[in-house]
Amino acid sequence: MSLALHMAVILVSIFALPHIQRSPAMEEIPMVVELVSIASETNLPTKLETKIEPQMNEAKPLQPTITESKPKSVPPQPRPQPKPKPEPKPKPEPKPKPELKPKPELKPKLKPKPKPKPLTKRKVKPALPKRLAKVTPRRKPKPPDPFELVLKNLAQEIKTTKLAKKTEKKDKKQVRKSDFELKISRALTQQHIGEADSERITMTEMHAMINTIRTAIIPCWNIQPGAKGAQNIIVVVRASLSPDGRVKRAWVANKGSFLKDSFKLAAAETAQRAVLNQACQPFKLDPKKYDIWRDVTLSFNPSEMFGR
Amino acid sequence: MIGLGIVPQQTSFNLPRLFTVILVATLMDIASFLPAWGELRVDVTRGTVKPLPIAITNFIGQTPQEVQLGQSIAGVIKTDLERSGLFQPIDKKAFINVESSLDTVPRFQNWRILNAQAMVQGRVTFSADNRMRAQFRLWDVFAQQQMVGQVYTTDSSNWRRIAHIVADTIYKRVTGEEGYFDTRIVYIAETGSLIRRIKRLAIMDQDGENHHFLTDGSSLVLTPRFSPTRQEITYMSYHGDVPRVYIFNIDTGRQEVLGDFPGMTFAPRFSPDGNAVIMSMAQHGNTEIYTMDLRTRREKRLTRHSAIDTSPHYSPNGKKVVFNSDRSGTQQLYVMNADGNNVRRISFGKGRYATPVWSPRGDLIAFTKMIRGRFFIGVMGIDGKGERLLAKGFLVESPTWSPNGRVIMYFREIPKGSKGGKESKLYSIDLTGQNEREILTPMDASDPAWSPLIP
């Protein structure tokens, strides 16, 4: 998948971005980009600092997921619908076009920004990694993919950067990041104006939240270890929670694939019952973080019980 | 931390483009993890193993006869499900308000309070010709949905079987596996002293009801096994002091000796299609495995070894046979093709292995193991791996699978008194090693065989 994605990007870059093929500017523009892989226990800064364009306000919240979860077990899922139906069919859409539309709105915002400083050899400030780590969940339907925006404007950014001449350094305190850098920062931080402070969360809080739900569910998940192939059945249940920590609705996300197999169907319903079982609720979660845990996806995999 | 330096060159046209592409690809790497942050995701990798709380209401009826029968049917269903170990029927005294109609959606909150995760309701009506009409619904209390609903019409004398069928339907819908309540057990009923032991062929429902004898005890009988149609039983009898394999027809009561073999025949079992019987024959001090085609009455020798080869059992697809042999010096389990080729040993543990039985699922083999004077009932994979011992005792022997491959039945001998006496009982145990239960029989019992489901 990743390879295919890279190839697609490379091809697009080569053939669809004509500006790339233009003659390069004469200036040397050394640039160092430091990408920070976020540790699972990273404490994220809680203070917001960047304003988000209007189109970003329409984005759905990005609900951080468990960092230790296996990528394989995370099926591609569509963006959560505002009102999830009981049995939504997971239709991983590559990248809906609407996400690209905000571009025109983004440009006006970006243009007024100060032109990039002469990037002789600019290193990203230490603050950038922190900002990169600031991933705060938000809730809006169909968030514009920040990297779509970044990629779509990348050529322009590079062009702008190339055209920027070397100038003397002004007051260091007033050094501002280039649009490109700012966009990356914004893209990764995913903040927007409308968010309340309560919607921000650290990784530690996230883990605590996940553990709270997991610990509560375990006693209510009644598995059948004697069933044939029970250890290989993975059930994904999506749930909507009330502010009091109780489950309002829960449905098996991948139930369609289980209907023809009575073993799998039974396993799926067992997982659904575990989520719906009021005996294991309410989950003791911080009401102030309700927007974080309003919608939860639970992956039931009994592998640990089979010593795997 | 990943560092990436980008230095566009003045003189090259391709390099900047290359670097740009690399940058874009790198950014895509970043983007690839973003979706994973898009939701609160909880991985649950552990659960509990406990019975499912289920509320089984009496089947409603209009006349006293219907009401009485409705209670009886509900009682049988409750007993069946409870004995499986996978269900925990809720005491009826705790019921808050039982629905008086089968045609309205239940008030689920009344059942949720009891923590009932499933609820069964039904109705019994009699027609003018004394035929019974039984219908039931199984509800998922939490999801507030009907899981299954069926109607049966039959002679009222079959009410017990209808109850077993309903229990099977509930079992299958909740667990995903076929049920095994509408089945029967054939076994050896033992009476009398140790010296003058009388052994008779007996048959009963899996819950011990409808018990009756098939033979009168004049001849010693051993190792009864059902045919796939469960209308016939093959067994070994000492009729005329010569041990031979017989076939007994349950419908007609007729029994016949299987072939005129020169030696002693024993340990018979039907092939999965019911067209052949595989068994052992001892001749001139050597025991080999044979099959007999029941249509042509031709026998075929499968093993050729000076060791004792016995206790053969077909795989569910009929392509393999598992048996035990002491050809390696100790009694061990072997698997061979149905034509006798490709013999390979599968048991390598300490002790001796005997009476292998292939699971109806096809993935496991149950066996009796003897080590250091103790007996065990265990299972292993068909390649001999993953051995698990489920039950142990002074003498536990002769495992037989439930038709869904979930439960194993066997018999257990327990020393009794100081004069070498003993008592023998049937037990069942879940494949997980849980829920060991005694199967009640009117007298001592041994050599059980579980019937297939009635088609």
- The token pair at B370 is 């003897």
Q: Cβ–Cβ of B47/A218 closer than 8 Å?
A: yes
**Mean of pLDDT values over B440-446:** 95
Q: What residues make up the domain containing A61?
A: 2-199
Number of separate domains in chain A: 2
pLDDT at A9 over 70: no
Does the pLDDT at position B337 exceed 50? yes
* Tokens read off for A47: 């203070």
Flag if A146 and B34 touch (Cβ within 8 Å).
yes
Task: Determine the average pLDDT of the residues in A298-306.
Answer: 81
User: Which chain A residues contact residue B360 at CB under 8 A?
Assistant: none
> A210 — phi, psi (to 5°)?
-65, -45
Closest CA to A56 of A133, A110, A112: A110
End residue of a domain, out of A151, A174, A199: A199
Which burial class, exposed, middle or buried, applies to A216 when counting CB atoms under 10 A from its CB (0-12, 13-18, 19+)?
Answer: buried
Q: What is the pLDDT of residue B129?
A: 83
Residue where a domain terminates, one of A199, A230, A248:
A199
Same domain for A8 and A155, yes or no, is yes
CA A300 – CA A73 distance, rounded (Å): 10
For chains A and B, count residue pairs whose Cβ atoms are closer than 8 Å: 239
pTM, entire model: 0.69
In sequence order, what E strands does B92-208 have? 118-126, 131-140, 145-155, 184-191, 198-205
Do A249 and A129 lie in a common domain? no
- A103 and A186 in a single domain? The answer is yes
> Residue B97 has what pLDDT?
84
Q: Helix and strand tally (H, E) in chain B? A: 4, 31
B295 to chain A, any CB pair closer than 8 A? The answer is: no
Task: Copy the structure tokens of residue B110.
Answer: 């009344």
CATH class of the region B184-450:
mainly beta
Can you give the pLDDT at residue A104? 41
Strand B352-358: give its sheet, edge to edge: B352-358, B364-371, B374-381, B388-393
Report yes or no: A100 at the B interface, CB cutoff 8 Å: no
- The domain B52-175 is placed in CATH, from the list 3.40.50.720, 3.40.50.10070, 2.120.10.80, 3.40.800.10, at 3.40.50.10070
- Choosing from A165, A199, A233, the residue where a domain stops is A199
At a CB cut-off of 8 Å and minimum separation 6, what does A183 contact? A110, A146, A149, A150, A153, A157
Instruction: Please give the Cα distance from B315 to B317 (Å, whole number).
Output: 5
First to last CA, chain A: 26
pLDDT score for B101: 87
- The pLDDT of residue B21 is 56
Residue B1: how many other CB atoms lie within 10 Å: 7
> For A270, phi and psi rounded to 5 degrees?
-65, -45
Q: Is the pLDDT of residue A74 over 80?
A: no
Range picked from A16-25, A105-114, B229-238, B402-411 for highest mean pLDDT = B402-411
User: Chain A interface, mutation test: which of B18, B41, B117, B171, most A Cβ atoms within 10 Å?
Assistant: B41
Classify burial at B240, counting beta carbons within 10 Å of its beta carbon; exposed 0-12, middle 13-18, buried 19 or more: exposed
pLDDT by residue (tens digit) across A146-198?
434 334 443 444 444 454 445 445 544 444 555 656 655 555 544 443 445 55
Q: Is the pLDDT of residue B89 over 90?
A: yes
Q: What is the mean pLDDT of chain B?
A: 89
Q: Is B35 on the interface with A (CB under 8 A)?
A: yes
Question: How far apart, in whole angstroms, are the C-alpha atoms of residue B5 and residue B253?
Answer: 91
* Record: contact A210-B42, CB cut-off 8 A: yes
Is the same domain home to A182 and A208?
no
Work out the average pLDDT over A200-213: 87
Check A223 against B48: CB less than 8 A apart.
yes
**Tens-place pLDDT, residues B120-129:** 999 999 988 8
Q: Which residue has the higher pLDDT, B435 or B420?
A: B435
pLDDT in tens, A264-274: 888 899 999 99
Nearest CA to A234 out of A92, A74, A94 is that of A74
Q: Chain A partners of B404 at a C-beta cutoff of 8 Å?
A: none
Label residue A99 by pLDDT band (50, 70, 90): very low
Continuous segment of H or E residues that includes residue B20:
helix B14-33
pLDDT above 80 for A73? no
Query: How many other CB atoms are found less than 10 A from the CB of residue B423?
Result: 14
Q: Write out pLDDT tens, residues B291-336.
A: 999 999 999 999 999 999 999 999 999 999 999 999 999 999 999 9
Output the domain CATH number for residue A253: 3.30.1150
| Shared domain check, A173 and A39 | yes
Task: Enumerate the residues of chain B whose CB falls inside 8 A of the CB of residue A249.
Answer: none
Q: Which residue in B16, B175, B406 is closest to A266 by CB distance?
A: B175
Q: Can you point out the beta strands (E) in B16-96?
A: 40-44, 52-56, 87-89
Residues A38 and A187 placed together within one structural domain of the fold = yes
Q: Which of A1-15, A140-154, B119-133, B213-227 has the lowest mean pLDDT?
A: A140-154
Q: Are the CB atoms for B155 and B66 separated by under 8 Å? A: no
- Closest chain A residue to B25, measured at CA: A6
Nearest to A65 among B32, B40, B406 (CB): B40
Entry field: residues in chain B:
455
| Residue A153: alpha-carbon gap to chain centroid | 20
Residues A37 and A150 in one domain: yes
Q: A195 and A264: one domain? A: no
What's the pLDDT score for residue B163?
97
Q: Mean pLDDT of all residues in chain A?
A: 59
pLDDT per residue as tens digits for the range B190-211: 998 878 889 999 999 999 999 9
Written as six digits, the tokens of B208 are: 């011990």
Could you say which residues from 367 to 386 on chain B have a Cβ atom under 8 Å away from some Cβ of chain A?
A: none
What is the chain A residue with the closest CA to B362?
A228
Both A283 and A300 in one domain: the answer is yes
Axis crossing angle, helix B64-84 with helix B159-175, rounded to the nearest 10: 40
**Strands B388-393, B395-401: parallel, antiparallel or unpaired by DSSP?**
unpaired
Q: Determine whether the interchain pair A293/B40 forms a contact, defined as Cβ–Cβ distance below 8 Å.
A: yes
Q: Name the residue among A34, A220, A274 with its Cβ closest to that of B3.
A: A34
Assigned token pair, A6: 């890279």
> pLDDT value at position B191?
92
Do A302 and A246 fall into the same domain?
yes
Which residues in chain B have Cβ-Cβ distances shorter than 8 Å to A225?
A: 49, 432
Q: What is the pLDDT of residue B242?
A: 80
Q: What is the dihedral of CA A18, A22, A28, A34, to 10 degrees?
A: 10
Domain ranges of chain B: 52-175, 184-450
Nearest Cα neighbor of B27 from A86, A2, A305, A245 is: A2
Assess whether A136 and A238 both reside in one domain. Answer: no
